[in-house]
Amino acid sequence: MPAPKDPRDEALLRHLAALRRWCSRRSGDPDLVDDVLQETALHALRRMPLLREPERMRGWLFRIMQRRLAELSRDRPPWLSLTIDPVVPPRVLPDPKAVRLIRHALRSLPARLRKPVRLHYLEGQPIRDVAASLRTSVNSVKARLYRARRKIRAVKDGGSGG
């Protein structure tokens, strides 16, 4: 027998589109919107049992999102284009075609996704250290790495990257 659905969970799902629109208008950065929305949903789901007045959920969610947006965008420098230099020259020269494809795929990434890729995959930093250097959460870094892999895969397959 399936567990009964909590009406608060369904209410949260109904408000997600409005939360996304609000955050998009405030930040203008689609990657930041994804990070803020994810952090808001996680916080809301953790704190949902403590919500005393479910009819006030919409305002509660917007206050959470407003705080998360402030936290994640506070003191962030504008992202600069990154040039990715090899950390250690390889002993065996890779296939030049493969190198061109990798460089093209990395250049196709927005700087916001390119930096975590460089720090984690090319420099070998743990995700926790990447999150600390980017002044964001571990979950945000994981989400950015996922989006970067998805965009690189789309470039490799000849898609639009979206």
- Domain check: are 11 and 68 in the same one? yes
Domain hosting 22: range is 7-73
The whole-number pLDDT of residue 152 equals 83
Domain boundary among 25, 58, 73: 73
- End-to-end CA separation in angstroms for the chain: 39
In a domain, 162, yes or no: no
Q: What is the CATH number of the domain that holds 101?
A: 1.10.10.10
Q: What is the CATH number of the domain that holds 67?
A: 1.10.1740
- Domain check: are 68 and 102 in the same one? no
Better pLDDT: 65 or 90: 65
- Domain check: are 105 and 53 in the same one? no
pTM of the model: 0.45
* Whole-angstrom distance, CA of residue 26 vs CA of residue 33: 9
Are the C-beta atoms of residues 155 and 104 closer than 8 Å to each other? yes
- Domain check: are 68 and 100 in the same one? no
Closest by CA to 81, choosing from 105, 104, 109, is: 109
Grouping H, G, I as helix, E, B as strand and the rest as coil, residue 67 is: helix
- Domain check: are 67 and 101 in the same one? no
Tally of structural domains, the chain: 2
How much is the CA Rg of the chain, to the nearest whole Å? Answer: 19
In a domain, 81, yes or no: no
In a domain, 91, yes or no: no
Confidence of residue 107 (pLDDT cuts 50, 70, 90): confident
Tens digits of residue pLDDT in 28-70: 778 788 888 888 888 888 888 887 787 888 888 889 888 888 8
